Structure 1
Amino acid sequence: MNAGRTLFIGAISGLLTVVLGAFGAHGLEGAVPATHLEWWQKAVHYQGLHSLALLAGGLLALQLPNNRWIASSGWLFLTGMLLFCGSLYLLTLTGQRSLGMITPIGGSAFIAGWFCLAMATRCINR
């Protein structure tokens, strides 16, 4: 993923984090059980953190263009958001517990994304 695309996706994801957080706080309160609302809040939290990670990766990509570690981290953070956060959002709205099986795959993508971002920083000042 190139720097511009990474920055764009990070910014849009940040925007969605605020929208989804507000929806959870105002639209779902009282409409879903408290446990489900906790799942929603966890998804919002992780989406927000990884939106910032995408922005950091995009800025780093401006300094280190064509770095495969940075590109991989962006794709892995995006995959993590879709699988981890997405499964928790859907779990909250549908109550389908089988969706919880997808969540750890997204968490693993987050971990791999952080590893790739760490590896990318090894290229600074070399």
Structure 2
Amino acid sequence: MPIKKLLFLAACTGALAIALGAFGAHGLKSLLAPEALATWHTAVFYHLVHSIFLIGICLRILIDASRRLFLAAYCIWGGILLFSGSLYILALGGPVLFGPVTPIGGVLLILGWLSIAAYALRLPAPDR
């Protein structure tokens, strides 16, 4: 996926996180049990944090189109989709078969962070 599309997707993902957070705070507050609402808030938190991280990765790709950065971006995007997406579904009373999807998304998020760590180790030492 070209960086322009990836950056667009990252921005839309962030906007969606804000919209879903507002929906949870205002539209679902009286409809969901406290445990389900807490699950929704967890999904929104991880969604938003990783959307911001994804934007940062995309901006770095504009400077250095490293494969590790693209790997990180794809892992983070997939992690948001699977981790937060499955939590949104579960919070709304969706089938429990989405439960095992959540940790897969979590692993993708971790792999995204580790891809950035691997990228950092390969950066040249700064001239001082």
Fold conserved between structures, TM > 0.5: yes
> Which residue of 2 is the match for residue 124 of structure 1?
123
> What is the count of residue pairs matched by the alignment?
125
C-alpha separation between the residues in 1 aligned to 2:97 and 2:35? 16
Identical counterparts, % of pairs: 38
Change (3 A) 1:125 1:4: farther
Q: After TM superposition, what 4+ stretches of structure 1 lie above 4 angstroms from structure 2?
A: none
Point out the structure with max Rg over C-alpha: 2
Shift of 1:97: 2.7
C-alpha separation between the residues in 2 aligned to 1:7 and 1:94? 32
> Which residue of 2 is the match for residue 99 of structure 1?
98
Q: Flag the structure with more relative contact order, 1 or 2, with Cα contacts below 8 A and sequence separation at least 6.
A: 1
Shift of 1:95: 4.4
Change (3 A) 1:41 1:47: same
For the aligned residue pairs, the C-alpha RMSD in angstroms reads: 1.5
Q: Residue 106 of structure 2 aligns to which amino acid in structure 1?
A: G
1:2 and 1:58 in contact (8 A); partners too: no
1:53-86 deviations in whole A, cap 9, x for unaligned? 1111111101112x11011111101110111000
What is the DSSP-based 3-state SS (H/G/I as helix, E as strand, rest coil) of the residue aligned with 2:99?
helix
Query: Within 5 Å, which residues of 2 pair with 1:1-126?
Result: 1-65=1-65, 67-125=66-124
Shift of 1:45: 0.3
What are structure 1's unaligned runs of at least 5 residues?
none
- TM-score normalised by L of structure 2: 0.90
What are structure 2's unaligned runs of at least 5 residues?
none
Shift of 1:14: 0.8
